[in-house]
Amino acid sequence: MSNFVHPCLLQLLPLLFFVLVLLFCASCQSASVDLNPEDKASLLLFRSWIQDPVHGLSTWFGSNCTDWTGLACQNHTGQVISINLRNVNLSGYIHPNLCNLLFLETLVLSENGFTGQIPLCFGRLQNLKTLDLSHNRFGGVVPDSLVTLRQLKELSLNGNHDLGGVVPWWVGNFSSNLEILDLGFNSFHGTIPESLFYCKSLKYLDLGNNYLSGDLHDFFQPLVFLNLSSNSLSGTLPCFSASIRSLGVLNLARNSIVGGIPTCIASLEELTHLNLSFNHLNYAISPRLVFSEKLLALDLSFNDLSGPLPTKIAETTEKSGLVLLDLSHNCFSGGIPLKITELKSLQALFLSHNLLTGEIPARIGNLTYLQVIDLSRNSLSGSIPLNIVGCFQLLALVLNNNNLSGQIQPELDALDSLKVLDISNNGISGEIPLTLAGCKSLEIVDFSSNNLSGNLNDAITKWSNLRYLSLARNKFSGSLPSWLFTFEEIQMMDFSGNKFSGFVPDGNFNISLEFNNGDVRRLPAEPFLAIRNIEIKISVLVVDNSELSFNYHLSSTAGIDLSDNLLRGEIPHGLFGLQGLEYLNLSYNFLDGQVPSLEKMERLRALDLSHNSLSGQIPGNISRLKELVLLNFSYNSLSGFVPQKEGYGRFPGAFAGNPDLCVESPRVKCDSGSLPTVPGKSFEETEGPISVWIFCISAFVSFYFCVVTLFCSTRARSYLLQTKV
């Protein structure tokens, strides 16, 4: 039964085979479209003018359009309708013959290195629907010839920093189809053309990062995306009522917008991202300003907003709600409302640089998705709530510059994903718990300016990714452990202002990559100030509905600070062999012995060995240390003669309090014969023939004085005369 075939089917088999052959031939024909000869000639001329170092256009030969990278052609005519050469590493000028491709609908040349002005002849491409020249090096102004492109839906010129002038007056009414206009990250100035406020087809508008000015007006079309950030726009916030059911992203950051935040902004039903940071917004936030659960990111930082924090800022559900809330750098006062702990989807909470008081809510541990908490620079009191371990995904906990007290709870080891832990400038006491060894992901640890005490335990050795460690200005004691310099990624360690005693550990100096090699970054040349005031800049970006991108920037030098302790003994020579070290402070200790050679410390910018008991001579010529801007050897027991040519003259006051040390200057000449020699030079090299003559004369005078003395003595003269007889 299964092997039976109906006779009718057998009769249809040849017909089916014929149809399959026809379909196969048709597919072959569609896969092989002959490129229009005139278009081919124009494309080859276009290629002849550009540089193609990675041979991205190496397939541009032959006549089959489908073989040419980035091209699409009409099936019947072979005329080019689409060119997409995004990010092919091309550069150079655009040949005018590219404008002969009159049937072109899509032209994408973004993320390359094209230069020159945007060709005037682009206005001839009447069928163009997409023109994307973003992220190149085009300059000049936008040519008015583009006004003829009536079919254009997308015009993207983003990221051509030398492209500027005023935004063309016609840009809002030249095409009734225009949906996307992206002129961000350019050099446009002047006001926003009025035509843009009424362009009915426009949905996506990006004019961010330019030099636009004038008052901010409302838009009268249903926008989906609006970015006017990083300009000089002024005025007050409009309601964007025409976009009440469409606007998803509104970014007005870094302008000069004033006044309060109108409650009508919360009526934008589709709003997912609102950024009003770095403006001059003031007054309190109205209790009626409550956003929908669709809002993912709210950034009101760096304004002059005051009053209490809003008890409810957005609706939330189990599956949706705010991911990022940034109210930092304002003038909010009062306590942290408990309603914030109900934002169950929250991943980043920034409330720093305000006037907040009271305790950190214990229920903050309910925010199990939290990755970043920054409550720094307020007046918060109480202890760090133990429930914070409920935020088990936490990457950064920043609580510095508050009035917190209590101890570091051993249970904090549950935060095993933590990378940044900053509790500096508080009143926290006790010892570092051994259990913190469980926080193996730590990279930035700042416990400075507290009341912590005890010895350094081995928990710190488990932080193998450590880049910055500061225990400065506490009450730690005991000797410095042998593992002190064993962190491969360490960039800065500050143990100053404690009661550490004993010797500076000798050894393991070759482990740190930063201390030994340094990196290629060039630090600013301004005076080397505020070395201890390191600020960690944390930034987050909401990628989609559920994901947040976390990043931090550590603005710090490669340095070691062991100052203001009770250390004694000699300075290990290996410490002065760290070629990448930029900052070294060993001042206010009881170190003795000689100062090691500085010749290997090519990146050194600041060295402070003052207020110790160092003796001997100053190291030789330091003129080759071009980066050195701060030097202090004062108040030691150094001696010798420092010639002016040694390069120390650019550090006045660096040798104060060393009475046996003479530093030569245009006003001060040292008597080299009466001072110890410069280290590394023999007596013969330093004294010369003049010193030899001085020695001979003094010997002759001494001999003459002895003879005269003998003959003036009666007893001596009698004895000599008697002997002679």
- Span 514-554, pLDDT tens digits: 888 765 444 444 444 444 455 667 777 776 665 788 888 77
Count the neighbouring beta carbons within 10 Å of the beta carbon of residue 587: 23
Count the neighbouring beta carbons within 10 Å of the beta carbon of residue 121: 16
**CA dihedral angle for residue 93, residue 98, residue 99, residue 100, rounded to 10 degrees:** 150
For residue 14, what pLDDT is reported? Answer: 55
Question: Could you tell me which of 291, 290, 283 has the C-alpha nearest to residue 261?
Answer: 283
How much is the average pLDDT of 367-396? 96
pLDDT exceeds cutoff 60 at 682:
no
How much is the average pLDDT of 280-309? 96
Cα dihedral 397, 518, 617, 643 sign: negative
Question: Could you tell me which of 668, 670, 655 has the C-alpha nearest to residue 617?
Answer: 655
Q: Residue 325 — very low, low, confident or very high, per pLDDT cuts 50/70/90? A: very high
Whose structure tokens read 């290997």?
A: 600
pLDDT exceeds cutoff 50 at 680:
no
pLDDT exceeds cutoff 80 at 467:
yes
| Mean pLDDT estimate for the chain | 86
How much is the average pLDDT of 168-191? 96
| Lowest-pLDDT range of 22-26, 472-476, 480-484 | 22-26
Q: Residue 16 — very low, low, confident or very high, per pLDDT cuts 50/70/90? A: low
Determine the Cα–Cα distance for residues 411 and 393; give it in Å rounded to an integer.
15
pLDDT exceeds cutoff 80 at 236:
yes
For residue 520, what pLDDT is reported? Answer: 41
Determine the Cα–Cα distance for residues 642 and 664; give it in Å rounded to an integer.
6
Determine the Cα–Cα distance for residues 699 and 293; give it in Å rounded to an integer.
100
For residue 652, what pLDDT is reported? Answer: 85
pLDDT exceeds cutoff 50 at 695:
no
Whose structure tokens read 């390359």?
A: 112
pLDDT exceeds cutoff 90 at 642:
no
For residue 508, what pLDDT is reported? Answer: 79
Determine the Cα–Cα distance for residues 438 and 267; give it in Å rounded to an integer.
46
Whose structure tokens read 């008081």?
A: 357
pLDDT exceeds cutoff 50 at 659:
yes
Whether 220 contacts 199, CB under 8 Å: no
Terminal CA-CA length for the chain: 161
| Predicted confidence (pLDDT) per residue in 35-58, tens digit | 999 999 999 999 999 999 999 999
Determine the Cα–Cα distance for residues 356 and 405; give it in Å rounded to an integer.
16
For residue 507, what pLDDT is reported? Answer: 78
Q: Residue 129 — very low, low, confident or very high, per pLDDT cuts 50/70/90? A: very high
Provide the b/e sequence for 353-372 (b: ≥16 CB within 10 Å).
Answer: bbebeeebbeebbbbebbbb
| Lowest-pLDDT range of 27-31, 56-60, 89-93, 215-219 | 27-31
For residue 555, what pLDDT is reported? Answer: 73
More confidently predicted of 677 and 156: 156
pLDDT exceeds cutoff 90 at 451:
yes
- At 182, which amino acid appears? D
- At 521, which amino acid appears? R
For residue 552, what pLDDT is reported? Answer: 81
Task: Write down the pTM of the prediction.
Answer: 0.85
Count the neighbouring beta carbons within 10 Å of the beta carbon of residue 613: 13
Kindly state the DSSP code that residue 457 receives in the 8-state scheme. Answer: P
For residue 535, what pLDDT is reported? Answer: 62
pLDDT exceeds cutoff 50 at 25:
no
pLDDT exceeds cutoff 90 at 692:
no
| Predicted confidence (pLDDT) per residue in 477-520, tens digit | 999 999 999 999 999 999 999 999 999 998 778 888 888 876 54
The vertex-224 CA angle with 218 and 230, nearest 5°, equals 65
More confidently predicted of 248 and 519: 248
Task: Name the helix (H) or strand (E) containing 140.
Answer: strand 137-141
Q: Residue 359 — very low, low, confident or very high, per pLDDT cuts 50/70/90? A: very high
